[in-house]
Amino acid sequence: MAAQPELWVVDLGRLPYAAGLALQERVRDARERDVVPDTLLLLEHDPVYTRGRRADPAELPLGEEWYAERGIRIVDVDRGGRVTYHAPGQLVGYPIVRTTDVVAHVRGMERALIAALAEEGVAARSRADEGADFTGVWVADRKIGSIGVHVRRGITTHGFSLNADMDLEPWTWIVPCGLTQPMTSVAAETGRTGPLVPCLRRRVAHAYATECGRRQRLVPPARLERILTATTPALV
């Protein structure tokens, strides 16, 4: 029997958004060269609003200066989707994997998040049949998980975010994903207090590996860095 292919899972802790984006790009380049297998980066970000390719200026109605005064940067990114928010207390996942079907990749992330939330006692669902704007994971009419991806040469970047015990107020300062429906979190749905990300991280990693039919392998960030550094082609 052939060995089950690996999914590398890397717990990065908390990173500024720019650092997470740069690492994604390095891992994507390595994945394209088959230096690393499919890889899932898991982390938390400093407060930031990101604008996807379908974002509308009206989704950030209070202006960049107002958000900056509250310590929230705004970054334009190449993923699909609209405006979303990242901050501590939210689990962010970047699956950097080969795919030939972007829709199946997105649906797989939804299923994995729903499975992980079920283990947390949260009954979540997909609303894929309601259109692209409803991509993500929902608890009734409240959104708990967001998804947006980019694909280059069959390799994905960006991915999902799942609200654990983050402050939800900054979501009310934008029009998240172009929708006016409320955001929620594991803490809000269960009444539990944080930190909730560590347990959620383990559940999501297991659920995503299972969804993809991969054997999870935990890889320390330092080891990933050594591999990326050693295998990066020299500039000439």
* Exposure class string for 195-229: b at 16+ Cβ within 10 A, else e: ebbebbbbbbbbbbbbbbebebeebeeeebeebbe
Catalytic residue set: 177
Q: Looking up tokens 């009444």, which residue turns up?
A: 191
The dihedral sign for the CA sequence 7, 80, 29, 22: negative
- Which residues neighbour 71 within 8 Å (Cβ) at sequence distance 6 or greater? 47
24 residue type, one letter = Q
Residue 220, token pair as written in the block: 């320390």
Question: Which candidate, 177, 160, 151, places its Cα nearest to that of 113?
Answer: 160
